[in-house]
Chains A and B, each alone.
Chain A
Amino acid sequence: MPRVSPVAAIAATIVLACTATALRAQDPAQGVRLTLEYRAGARPGVLVLPVGGPQGDSVRTMLERDLDFGNRVSIVALAGADAASLAPVAGRPLNWALLGRLGAAGVVQAASTPAGLQVTVYDVGRQSVLDSQTFPLTPAPLSRDWRHAVHGISDEIEGWLTGTRGIARTRIAFVRGTALFVVDSDGAMETGIPVVSPPLSPAWHPSGTALAYNTYGVGSRVMVHDFATGRARTVSSTAGGVNQTPVFSPDGRDIVYAYTGEDGNAELYRVGASGGSARRITTGRGSLNLSPSFSPDGRRMVFTSSRAGQPEVYIMDADGTNTELLTSFVFGEQSYQSNSDWSPDGRLVAYQAQIAGRFQIKTIAIRDRGTRVLTSEGQNEDPSWAPDGRHLVFTSTRSGARQLWIVDVESGRMRQLTRSPGARAPAWSRR
């Protein structure tokens, strides 16, 4: 029997475990699940019936909005009384023909009960129950936890309907002025996170339990805020200069950040998520290298570098080797491409690019380097992917003051997330 070192054996086990998890995550149909039948590219209509029990109206509003924001189904808008007349009652099944004429491919029926929210989803095409389950709800209606539970139910329903779980129960961290905030994906529950110095560039731990960010000015450093304890600790060990743009590795164990030291060059460093000594990754030769983002498998990174003169987006192996330009120069104008974020499905990298003197959000495909421009109104900057790899949050001045906006890259649909001016540096949590 060949000798295998214990370290290698453990490493192999971890790799296998991670691979298995990744496979499960990529295969929502495991265990055979039927979803609504609908034309490819079309969004199936879904009717949410009035919700019975306490806070029924709030639940219905949230379910409808979450499904709408998910952009995978189209909500059949019916006033409460009309919708109520369609509800199944004892001994009378749903009026499938009428529902079909209203454009509803699916029907969501829910009721608050002492056991939680009882949800049944009907498949109008098959004239059958698609799925049914009772979800526990926290006893404090409209509280943060209660809202998160309802968002989670929306995500489950979206999974039943389309085969892909929704992203309603996610949060977005951002900076406004010199304060750090977290807001729910529907724009509700904006909450300040205590900081000791002005923050920038928040980044989520994959588990959602912690938020890394950097401070600037005197004593700039990378901090990690732990939501369970409410405390923040310093993780950058490079003293003096600027420590900035932290990101967690996909396994959550490490942080990669940029440090600008006494030579005036910004280089990427890797450090344990709880601190320790930092190891340099990039060799920028007199340039600025910052704003890293990992590929989902953690093996590669995209980042911003000024090594060619102006900021451009580069791709490299996670150890700093095999660096190459990802975004090609835009000729004929002042090229400036930065703030890249690798999509959770690994296919696309979103970034900001200067076009005709204004910044716009673009994506580039890893496979064929094909690019798309997603925005055109105002200045649009700093994209961050939702965990579904389909939505991006970014800053835009399209409505005047800078706000956070969300775009569905499939349909191009936009919505405004924040309402108070000056929001920026958005970071979308994982599920």
Chain B
Amino acid sequence: MTHSARLTVLGTAALAIVALGACRKTPPAIEAEPAVPSINQDSINRVRDAAAADEARRRADQARQDSIANAAALGSQQQAEMVATLGNVVYFDYDDATISAQGRAVLDSKIPILLANSSLTIRVAGHTDERGSAEYNLALAQRRAIAVKGYLSTRGVSSNRIEAVSYGEEYPVAEGSMESAWSLNRRAEFEITSPATPLARPRP
């Protein structure tokens, strides 16, 4: 069908509707011919009802999808929060492996998650700043990782779930030879080493 032909058909239908309206305003003069306008009305209603039903169904589907997504987002947000808590970094003073107040707070926040997930294993990686001997720093960073491991194990996390490793001064997170960089580099980082499974939430 050509473009102009389609317009012609639409034009004819429009004329028919206009004619229908004209019929309503005047008393039915021709009772014998009600069939044609009533068929048209029904078909229009049917089309309109179907569209509305489609729309409703679409909205319901959307709401359900949104609900699922929201629920999932809520779950993964909790998962993400727990993973982030487990990953929070502990910082140290210069040439020191003592767990500070900051370190205790960070580690204490990890403990409920570790206790609620007994199959979870982690790796603690010790790091130092760039100052001093790279050899000494390799041992110092291990001492930091061991200090973290010791703190967690005295609070009930089995030590065989925690692997302590050292990277010495080899992997700084902050560049530069000033205290602001050094203080960020003297740290213990955390990595989950067990296979990725949803974490159980600690009991409140």
Contacts and interface: CB of A to CB of B under 8 A. Distances in A.
Partners in one complex: yes
B136 A216 contact: no
B135 A216 contact: no
Contacts of B189: none
Interface of A: 178, 198, 200-201, 216-218, 220, 240-242, 244-245, 258, 260, 262-266, 288, 290-291, 304, 306, 310-311, 336, 338-339, 352, 354, 359, 381-382, 424-425
B135 A339 contact: yes
A129 to B, nearest CB: 50
11 contacts: A201-B135, A217-B125, A217-B165, A218-B123, A264-B97, A288-B136, A304-B136, A311-B136, A338-B132, A424-B134, A425-B135
B185 interface: no
A382 B133 contact: yes
Contact of A216 (B95, B147, B150, B167): B167
Contact of A244 (B138, B150, B159, B163): B138
Contacts of A258: 139
B164 interface: yes
Contact of A288 (B134, B143, B164): B143
Contacts of A288: 136, 139-140, 143
Contact of B136 (A217, A220, A290, A424): A290
List the 4 closest pairs (A to B, CB-CB), nearest first. Answer: A264-B146, A266-B139, A264-B143, A260-B142
Contacts of A382: 133-134
B18 to A, nearest CB: 83
A262 B140 CA distance: 13
Nearest to B95: A310
A260 B139 contact: yes
Contacts of B135: 200-201, 244-245, 290-291, 304, 338-339, 425
Contacts of A359: 132
Interface of B: 95, 97, 123, 125, 132-136, 138-140, 142-143, 146-147, 150, 159, 163-168, 170
Contact of B138 (A178, A200, A336, A424): A200
Given A290-B139, A311-B132, 8 more contacts: A200-B168, A242-B166, A245-B135, A260-B142, A266-B142, A291-B136, A310-B95, A382-B134
A352 B133 contact: yes
B133 A311 contact: yes
B43 to A, nearest CB: 74
A20 B133 CA distance: 38
B139 A339 contact: no
A264 B142 contact: yes
B37 to A, nearest CB: 84
B142 A241 contact: yes
Contacts of B140: 288
Contacts of A381: 133
Contacts of A220: 165-166
Nearest to A359: B132
A338 B166 contact: no
Contact of B132 (A218, A260, A336): A336
Contact of A242 (B133, B134, B138, B163): B138
A244 B141 CA distance: 13
A216 B142 CA distance: 10
Nearest to B166: A242
A264 B147 contact: yes
A27 B140 CA distance: 44
A359 B130 CA distance: 12
A12 to B, nearest CB: 37
Contacts of A198: 170
A308 to B, nearest CB: 12
Contacts of B125: 217
B150 A264 contact: yes
Contact of A241 (B134, B164, B167): B164
A122 B127 CA distance: 59
The winner among B134, B147, B165, B167 for most chain A CB atoms within 10 A is B134
A262 B146 contact: yes
Contacts of B142: 241-242, 260, 264, 266
Contacts of A290: 135-136, 139
A260 B126 CA distance: 13
Nearest to A177: B170
The winner among B136, B147, B168 for most chain A CB atoms within 10 A is B136
Nearest to A263: B146
A361 to B, nearest CB: 13
Contacts of B132: 311, 336, 338, 354, 359
Contacts of A241: 142, 164
Nearest to A424: B134
Contacts of A424: 134
